[in-house]
Amino acid sequence: MGGLENTYQDSLNPTIFQEAPRIGGAKFVKDMGNNHRRALSNINPNVLGATLNPHVVTKREFFGKLPPVEVVRHCSEAYDREPKNLNLLATKSSGLEDCHIVDVDFEDNKDVPVPMFVKHTEAIIDELDQVEEVEMEDVEEEPVMDIDSDNLKDPLSVVEYVNEIYAHYRKTECFSRVSPNYMNHQPDINEKMRGILIDWLIEVHHKFQLMEETLFLTVNLIDRFLERQIVIRKKLQLVGVTAMLLACKYEEVSVPIVEDFVLITDKAYTKQDVLDMEKLIVNELQFSFSLPTPFVFMRRFLKAAQSNKKLEILSSFIIELCLVEYEMLKFPPSLLAAAAIYTAQCSLYGFKQWSKTSEWYSNYSEHQLLECSRLMVAFHQKAGKDRKLTGVYRKYNTQKFGFAAKAEPANFLLGFSEF
């Protein structure tokens, strides 16, 4: 047994592994000659109870029995405290067999902490789901309609360049605007007198059965002339009827004669007075009549809103209320038209209504229309209550216009906070 122990100690000597010679060369041959290790056949195979050493390698089969060895599979420190089902490694009488490691599902345990990589993976999955939901919402966004697709065969719709026409209108509308403070330079008239004049002209326009374009151009000519020329109070009505005469010559097919306007003023002016004022206005404005008014944009924006007759009449009622009000001069014509349609939609439907198509063709968002729309709602509320300014209310409070003046104002817009 002493020889066996010495042999076993020699086999476990670490110097054998630390000072092992390199393979190849004369030195290797010399070292091999001095090697006194015993042959494996001389070692007793019946060594039992020896301590296992990782440096000892044996390839021979033995017929002894070893106690079962527990093999634990370590993955991370996070699993050290988790209960595991262990795999057993056992030997058969025929010899050692390969070790098979089987993963077993753990039972649900609320006290067991969730590994960090699991939490991270779940967070990534949730984020991807949210991105997919946002993408789906973008896909389901309201599309912008092509409002000219149904008029491709209509030559009067000029579909080929209608967008260029309205782009030109947007560029030139600034030339049709006047200063919202021009009345400060008028010593004898004020904004209330202007409102009374235009309210009366709306009745005259309705009585003569003129086109809508004529009314808006008339108001534009009056404001542009009053901005440049000081007018006394006695001549203010003359300026009004002469501006309507000029607008009729520009827009109407059948133009009322000068005597008709003299008669409508109860002969306060003569025919020569009208002709003299006509010369003064056209020279002061340099014959510049081809400028866009709110009505030009109304037609386009109503088409974008897919309007019906009821919406068209109510929008016209609201925009004509604005013609009388001096403070609305601060808004461009296109904004007035868009805000009038938006306010009319809110009045009819009882909630905010401004489609993506309307926003696209008007170039105004709902937020941009809110200030102007609130003023329109206020004018709608007091329509008919002002004894001096009743022309618009009486015009639209008839069966011809579907009693649009009695429509309920969009009062909820007054309390709607800006976003």
Q: Which residue has the higher pLDDT, 87 or 282?
A: 282
Q: For residue 53, give the nearest of 19, 16, 25 by alpha carbon.
A: 16
Contact predicate 211/251, CB 8 Å? yes
> E strand or H helix at 71, and its extent?
strand 69-71
Q: For residue 351, give the nearest of 405, 410, 394 by alpha carbon.
A: 410
- What's the confidence (pLDDT) of residue 112? 55
Q: pLDDT band at residue 116, thresholds of 50, 70 and 90?
A: low
Res 55 pLDDT > 80: no
- What's the confidence (pLDDT) of residue 351? 87
What's the mean pLDDT in 281-299? 94
- What's the confidence (pLDDT) of residue 114? 58
Res 49 pLDDT > 70: no
- What's the confidence (pLDDT) of residue 38? 52
What is the C-alpha to C-alpha distance for residues 248 and 242, in angstroms, rounded to an integer? 10
Q: Which CATH architecture has domain 294-414?
A: Orthogonal Bundle (1.10)
Q: For residue 411, give the nearest of 373, 384, 383 by alpha carbon.
A: 373
Q: Which residue has the higher pLDDT, 272 or 4?
A: 272
- What's the confidence (pLDDT) of residue 340? 97
Contact predicate 372/413, CB 8 Å? no
Residues of the chain above pLDDT 90, percent: 58
Name residue 298's amino acid: M
pLDDT, one tens digit per residue, over 315-359 is 999 999 999 999 999 999 999 999 999 999 999 998 888 999 999
CATH code of domain 177-285: 1.10.472.10
- Average pLDDT of the chain is 79
The pair of structure tokens assigned to 204 is: 């005259």
237-246, 301-310, 394-403, 407-416: least confidently modelled range: 407-416
pLDDT, one tens digit per residue, over 212-226 is 999 999 999 999 999
What's the mean pLDDT in 82-96? 44
Q: pLDDT band at residue 97, thresholds of 50, 70 and 90?
A: very low
What's the mean pLDDT in 172-188? 93
Interacting residues of 335 by C-beta distance below 8 A, sequence separation 6+: 364, 368, 369, 372
Contact predicate 47/8, CB 8 Å? yes
The alpha helices in 63-183, defined as continuous H runs, are 116-139, 162-176
Q: Tell me the CA distances in angstroms from 368 to 167, 331, 339, 342, 362, one per residue in order.
A: 19, 11, 9, 11, 11
Res 265 pLDDT > 70: yes
Give me the phi and psi of 55, to 5 degrees please. Answer: -90, -10
- What's the confidence (pLDDT) of residue 229? 94
Interacting residues of 315 by C-beta distance below 8 A, sequence separation 6+: 298, 302, 307, 340, 341, 343, 344
41-45, 203-207, 239-243, 397-401: least confidently modelled range: 41-45
**What is the number of other CB atoms lying within 10 angstroms of the CB of residue 303?**
17
What predicted TM-score, i.e. pTM, was given to this entire model? Answer: 0.67
β-pairing, 69-71 vs 87-89, is antiparallel
Q: For residue 199, give the nearest of 341, 393, 343, 335 by alpha carbon.
A: 393
pLDDT, one tens digit per residue, over 137-149 is 444 567 889 999 8
Contact predicate 176/220, CB 8 Å? yes
- What's the confidence (pLDDT) of residue 188? 94
Domains 177-285 and 294-414 share a fold: yes
What's the mean pLDDT in 153-176? 92
Res 407 pLDDT > 70: yes
Res 117 pLDDT > 60: no
Res 231 pLDDT > 90: yes
pLDDT, one tens digit per residue, over 166-177 is 999 999 999 889
86-90, 264-268, 287-291, 386-390: least confidently modelled range: 86-90
Q: For residues 55, 60, 62 and 67, what is the CA-based torsion angle, rounded to 10 degrees?
A: 30
Q: For the chain, which residues make up each domain, given as ranges?
A: 177-285, 294-414
- What's the confidence (pLDDT) of residue 300? 95
The 8 Å CB, 24+ separation contacts for 271-274 are: 273/238, 274/238, 274/241, 274/242, 274/245
Contact predicate 405/396, CB 8 Å? yes
- What's the confidence (pLDDT) of residue 78? 43
The SS3 of residue 46 is coil
Q: For residue 206, give the nearest of 345, 323, 335, 331 by alpha carbon.
A: 323
